[in-house]
Structure 1
Amino acid sequence: MAAVATVGTPALTICLYLIISKGFPPQQDTGFILGQARAATDILFEAMSAKMQALDAIAAADPDVDNAAYWINPSPSAGVG
């Protein structure tokens, strides 16, 4: 039984290497970039909204940017749970 496992494991590894596609990492740029903006914990929603809109305007001014989206959470853990 140990001999079967000893021979079978490398053989199976080689077979899987040949069969499974080599698509990771992607062969072409997907164009997706994720970023994060931080501010003081006591910043008002309106002030943070203005800062995010300014960042959005910078991204939108780049001709290579197709779309940009943002959201504002009141705290780092607001989206958890």
Structure 2
Amino acid sequence: MIVQAAIRHEGQVYTGRRHIKILEKMIRVHRIRKAVSLGDQGFLNDDSEFLTRQEAAKEALECGQIDEMPIGGKLNSEMLW
């Protein structure tokens, strides 16, 4: 089950409800100013595993969090919350 949006950047995983909010916090709180949008955007599941957007789409479908596979096969946080 998908529990949070996440961005993996230089070995660290940052989490939140929406990727844009995570990016804002990375800049504001953690002072990360480089192209953080190029970090790996994905999700955490209930086992705290980082999943890519594609992996998360499959898991969300299997867990009944979404009704059908998204176009392009990538999950967006807006599809969940």
TM-score using structure 1 length: 0.28
Q: Per residue, is there more strand in 1 or in 2? A: 2
Q: TM-score, normalised by structure 2?
A: 0.28
